[in-house]
């Protein structure tokens, strides 16, 4: 199993994995994807039945391996009985890893730039090639119809049942959307791809969560960070495009207008001029197929940014080259 896009060794050591997970948390905070809340996890390279997730701490304040907890995929229970207190929403991660054996990293975010598309009914679509992984659009998962009978209705994914419902949204029983799996399964294993059967791959890379945020799934930490950051950037670009469009373009009335009755429209409709241009399905697929080859470039930049910022401390030991 490959959990990193660019491993220096045939097998990624836990030291590198821990350091990468802490660095990823810092990067996501630096770029405004995470704040005091939100989290990124990674599946264990030694045991795919477990995964690592930070303890209940703000992402920017993660410091070393002691801040990370190993959980069982089966039920999101800590492997160590004396583990630190963890995130309540660890079920987001456990249920995704359970449903999709090829997924190795998960990000959950409350990013402000994305939140309007979780509540407005306006679909989040790729307007730029850097966000081709969004496909035709990012579906919105509505938790309201999935609360267990005794659960709090607080929009938090606090149970296995809710986590399973969210994970199912990444691959609906019937989906005519962007087939994320076709792109992902084509990636050679040595650069982070998966040999899993297509049926085990998600159809969507990103799911929006009503009134909550978004979750993205990937085959490596680097890929998950890329998708999370460019989900935010895609939302910012689309929002700006919609504002500019609505401010610039006017509208016309098509149909019969009854002037004698207060200008009431009869059998007419309001037609907006111009339209926001989105990527076609093929453009989205081909754009991501090209960009996935270059994830090392931004990852190396993002690592240097947080290394140079005094807020972030990463004291995880670096692995030794073999």
Would you please indicate which residues are annotated as catalytic (active-site) residues? 89
Which residue stretches of the chain are H helix? Answer: 14-30, 90-99, 116-119, 160-169, 180-184, 221-248, 281-291, 296-308
Report the candidate in 96, 108, 6 with the shortest Cα–Cα distance to residue 51.
96
Neighbours of 114 (CB within 10 A): 24
Helix (H, G, I), strand (E, B) or coil at 157: coil
Per residue in 259-279, is it b (16+ CB within 10 Å) or e — as a string?
A: eeeeeeeeeeeeeeeeeeebb
List Cα–Cα distances, 146 to 152, 155, 177, 190, 204, in angstroms: 11, 10, 22, 39, 20
Structure tokens at 259: 């002037």
Report the candidate in 211, 226, 231, 230 with the shortest Cα–Cα distance to residue 296.
226
């Amino acid at each position: 199993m490959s959990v990193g896009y660019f491993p220096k060794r045939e097998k990624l050591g836990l030291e590198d994995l821990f350091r990468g997970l802490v660095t990823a948390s810092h990067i996501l905070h630096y770029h405004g994807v995470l704040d005091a809340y939100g989290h990124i996890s990674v599946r264990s390279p030694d045991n795919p039945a477990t995964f690592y997730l930070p303890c209940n701490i703000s992402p920017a304040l993660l410091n070393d391996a002691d801040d990370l907890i190993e959980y069982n995929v089966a039920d999101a229970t800590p492997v160590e009985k004396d583990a630190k207190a963890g995130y309540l929403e660890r079920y987001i991660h456990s249920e995704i890893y359970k449903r999709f054996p090829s997924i190795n990293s998960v990000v959950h975010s409350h990013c402000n730039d994305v939140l309007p598309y979780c509540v407005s009914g306006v679909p989040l679509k790729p307007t730029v090639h850097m966000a081709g992984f969004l496909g035709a659009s990012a579906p919105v998962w509505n938790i309201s119809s999935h609360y267990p009978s005794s659960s709090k209705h607080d929009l938090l994914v606090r149970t296995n049942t809710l986590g399973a419902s969210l994970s199912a949204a990444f691959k609906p029983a019937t989906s005519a959307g962007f087939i994320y799996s076709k792109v992902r399964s084509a990636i050679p294993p040595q650069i982070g791809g998966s040999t899993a059967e297509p049926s085990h791959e998600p159809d969507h890379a990103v799911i929006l969560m009503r009134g909550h945020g978004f979750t993205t799934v990937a085959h490596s930490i680097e890929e998950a960070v890329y998708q999370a950051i460019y989900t935010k950037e895609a939302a910012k670009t689309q929002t700006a495009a919609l504002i500019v469009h609505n401010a610039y373009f006017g509208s016309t009335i098509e149909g019969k207008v009854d002037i004698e009755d207060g200008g009431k429209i009869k059998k007419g409709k309001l037609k907006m001029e111009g339209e926001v241009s989105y990527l076609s399905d093929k453009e989205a697929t081909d754009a991501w197929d090209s960009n996935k080859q270059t994830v090392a470039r931004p990852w190396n930049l993002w690592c240097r940014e947080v290394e140079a910022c005094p807020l972030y401390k990463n004291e995880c030991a670096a692995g030794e080259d073999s």
